[in-house]
Structure 1
Amino acid sequence: MRVLLTGSSGWLGRFLAPALQAAGHQVIGIDVAPGEHTQVVGSVANSELVKRTFLNFEVEAVIHAGALHKPDIVRQTTQSFIDVNLTGTLNLLTSAIESGVDRFVFTSTTSVMISQAIRTEQGTAAVWLDERSGPLEPRNIYGVTKLAAEGLCRDAFLKHGLPCIVLRTSRFFPEDDDTHGIPSGENLKANELLYRRATVEDMADAHILALECAPKIGFDIFIISAPTPFTREDVTDLKLDAASVVERCFPGASTLYALRGWTLPKTIGRIYDPSRAEQVLGFRAGIDFAAVLEALEQGNELPFAHDPTYLPPHADFSFATAG
C-alpha cells in the first residue's frame, strides 16, 4: 500500500518508515523538517498541502504519528497545539475520507488518561490504567488536543465508515525525562519498562499491526506499552514499597541493579495495562523488564535506546513525533 506517514522525520518515523518498507509498503513521509523518509516538507495544519499530498501520491492508507508533544508546551502556543494536533488531524481525516482511504492509524498517547491527581500520585494505591479507565481529564494542552483528536477519529468512523485505530502509546523517547531527574538516564528508562514504556522498535511494530487490522476492526483504542509483570492485586504494595514487589517478581533484580549502581523504584503510582492490544491486535512488545535484567546479567548492551543529546526535528511551525 501507499502509506502516508506523518512525523516521518521524527524519532518514531525513522524506525516506522523502514519497517513499513520492509513489510512491502510504499511510504510517503510528511514532516515540517526534512529527513531521509520525508518526501513532503510542511505542516498537516495546512489543509491545501494535505489535499495535494493525497492527490499527488494516490494515498491508500494513513499513519498519523506527527504531533506537537509535551516538551513543546514551553516553546509553542496553545493555538499551535490546536492547529497541529487537532486541525491537522481533521485535515488528514477529511482527505482520507474524500480519497477513499480504507484505514487510518492515529498515534495518541497515554497522557490523555493522566489527570493532575494521577500525575501527582495522590491516593494510597497505584492507579491501574486500561482502555476502560475514566473519566479522562488530561492535565495539559498536549493531552487535551490528543484526546479531542481521538474523538475526531471516532467521528470519522461513525459518520463516514473510515476504519480508525487509535494507539495510546506510552513513553518511547530516547532523551532524558524533562520533569524527573532521579533516577536519571538509563536507570529511569529501565524502571519504566515495568509500567509505562516500550522501545521505539516495538512501537513501530504495533503501528504496522494496527494498519493491517484496521479494516476488520473498524474503530478501537489500544494502550501500547511493554507488558507489566504486575497484577491489580499489587497496586497497594506498589505504592508503598515498589522495590519489594519487583524483587518478588524478579528475584535477584536488586543485586543486578546494585552492581550497576542503579536503584529500583521506591514507589509506582500508575501502571499501563497493554493486555487488550495483545488480545485483539496480537501485539505484545518484544522487549520488557526481563530483557533488561538479562542484559545486565550477561553484560550485554541494554535493549533500549538512550540518547540524552537527542532533539526532535523542528521548524518554524514544528511538530515532532508523538509519545
Structure 2
Amino acid sequence: MRVLLTGSSGWLGRHLAPLLEAKGHTVVGLDVAPGAATSVIGSVADRALVFRTVAEHGIEAIVHSGALHKPDIVRFPRQAFVDVNVTGTLNLLEAAVEAGHARFLFTSTTSLMVRDDVRAGAGEAGAWWMDEHFGPIAPRNVYGVTKRAGEDMCRLIARESGMVVAILRTGRFFPEDDDTHAIPSGPNLKANEFLNRRLTVGDAALAHLAALERAEGCETFVLSAPPPFTRADAVELAVDAPAVIARYFPDAAELYARAGWVLPERIERVYDPAKAERLLGWRARTDFAAILAALRDGAEMPFAHDPDWISPVLGDATA
C-alpha cells in the first residue's frame, strides 16, 4: 500500500517508516520538519495540503502519528494543540474518507487516561488497573484533551463511513527525561517503567504495523510492555512494590543494587495491553525481564535514553 505517515520526522515516525517499507509499503512522510522519511513538509492543520498530498501521491491508508505532545505545552499555545491534534486529525480522516480508504491508524496516548485522582496516587482498590475500559476519562491538560477529541473524531468518522480505525494509546516510549520526576531519573526511571507503563519505540512501531495489517472495526488499544503482575497484586503494589517484584523476579533487588539503581517503592497504576495481544497478535518484545537480563549480563539497556531529545519542529507547528 501507499501509506501516508504523519510525524515521519519524529521519534516514532523515524522507526516506523523503515518498518513499513520493509513490509513492502510505499511511505509518503508528512511532517513540519525535514527527516529521512519525510517527503512533504507541512502541517496536518493545512487542510489543502493534506487533501492534495493524499490525491497526488495516490495514498491508500493513513497512519497518523504526528502531534503536539505533552512536553510541547511549554512551547506552544493551546490553540496550536487544537489546530494540530484536533483539526489536523479531522483533515486526515475526511481526506481518507474522500479517497475511499479502508483503514486509518491514530496514535493516541495513555496520558489522556491519567485523571487528577490517578495522578494523585492509588485508588481504594490499590494500583489503578488501566485497560481500554478504564474510565471515566478526564484528561488533565490540553494535550490529553485534544488527543481525546481526536479519538472521538476517529470514532465518529468510523461510525459514519465504515472505515476501519485503530486508536493506539501508547505508553511512554520517548527517550527524553521525565519532566516531573527527578528521583529516580534517567535510565533507572525508564527501567522501572517497564514494570507498568513503558515500551520501546521499536515495539510501538511493531504495534502500528500489526494494527495496519489486522485491525477490524473501530477499536482502541492500550500499548505497553506486558506487566508481570495480576490484578490480585494491585493492593500490595500500591504499598510495597519491592515485595511484589521480588516474587516475580527474586534477583531484581540485587541486580539493581549492583547498578546503583532503586526499585519503585510503590506502583500506583498499571497499563494492561492484553487486548492488543488478543486482537492484533502484538506483544511487546522488550519487558522488565529483558531489563534484568541486560543488568545480569552487563549488556546495553534495550531502550533509548537521550535527555536532550526534543521533538522536531520547524517554525510555528501550525504553519
Please list the CA deviations of residues 117-157 of structure 1 after superposition, one character each: whole Å capped at 9, or x if unmatched. Answer: 10121535110001011110111110111011111111111
Please list the CA deviations of residues 86-123 of structure 1 after superposition, one character each: whole Å capped at 9, or x if unmatched. Answer: 00000000000000111100000001111011012153
For 2:209 and 2:16, locate their aligned partners in 1 and report how far apart those are by CA, in whole Å: 8
Aligned with 2:107: secondary structure?
Answer: strand
Query: Where does 1:149-228 land on structure 2 (aligned, <5 Å)?
Result: 149-214=150-215, 217-228=216-227
For 1:152 and 1:249, locate their aligned partners in 2 and report how far apart those are by CA, in whole Å: 41
Per the alignment, residue 53 of structure 1 pairs with 53
| Greater than 6 Å deviation, 4+ residue runs | none
Aligned with 1:235: secondary structure?
Answer: helix
For 1:172 and 1:208, locate their aligned partners in 2 and report how far apart those are by CA, in whole Å: 16
Identical counterparts, % of pairs: 58
Per the alignment, residue 312 of structure 1 pairs with 311
Look up the equivalent residue of 1:133 and give its one-letter code.
F
Per the alignment, residue 284 of structure 2 pairs with 285
Per the alignment, residue 263 of structure 2 pairs with 264
For 1:156 and 1:135, locate their aligned partners in 2 and report how far apart those are by CA, in whole Å: 22
- Structure 2 stretches of 5 or more lacking a match? none
Please list the CA deviations of residues 208-260 of structure 1 after superposition, one character each: whole Å capped at 9, or x if unmatched. Answer: 0000113xx11100001000001111111111011111111100100000000
| Number of residues of Structure 1 aligned to a counterpart in Structure 2 | 317
TM-score scaled by length of structure 2? 0.98
Please list the CA deviations of residues 140-196 of structure 1 after superposition, one character each: whole Å capped at 9, or x if unmatched. Answer: 110111011111111111101111000000000001111111101000000000000
For 2:203 and 2:249, locate their aligned partners in 1 and report how far apart those are by CA, in whole Å: 22
Per the alignment, residue 84 of structure 2 pairs with 84
Given that residues 105 and 207 in structure 1 are in contact (C-alpha distance below 8 angstroms), is that contact kept between their aligned partners in structure 2?
yes
For 1:112 and 1:280, locate their aligned partners in 2 and report how far apart those are by CA, in whole Å: 22
Aligned with 2:38: secondary structure?
Answer: coil
Aligned with 1:39: secondary structure?
Answer: strand
Look up the equivalent residue of 1:66 and give its one-letter code.
G
Per the alignment, residue 236 of structure 2 pairs with 237
For 2:103 and 2:227, locate their aligned partners in 1 and report how far apart those are by CA, in whole Å: 29
For 1:271 and 1:89, locate their aligned partners in 2 and report how far apart those are by CA, in whole Å: 28
Look up the equivalent residue of 2:220 and give its one-letter code.
I
Of stretches 54-63 and 123-132 in structure 1, the one that deviates more from structure 2 is 123-132
Look up the equivalent residue of 1:74 and give its one-letter code.
V
Aligned with 1:106: secondary structure?
Answer: strand
Choose between structure 1 and 2 for higher RCO, CA contacts under 8 A separated by at least 6 residues.
1
Given that residues 122 and 238 in structure 2 are in contact (C-alpha distance below 8 angstroms), is that contact kept between their aligned partners in structure 1?
no
Look up the equivalent residue of 1:22 and give its one-letter code.
A
Deviation (angstroms), 1:75: 1.2
For 1:100 and 1:58, locate their aligned partners in 2 and report how far apart those are by CA, in whole Å: 11
For 1:156 and 1:71, locate their aligned partners in 2 and report how far apart those are by CA, in whole Å: 29
TM-score scaled by length of structure 1? 0.97
For 1:310 and 1:35, locate their aligned partners in 2 and report how far apart those are by CA, in whole Å: 15
Is 1:148 paired with 2:155?
Answer: no
For 1:43 and 1:184, locate their aligned partners in 2 and report how far apart those are by CA, in whole Å: 33
- Structure 1 stretches of 5 or more lacking a match? none
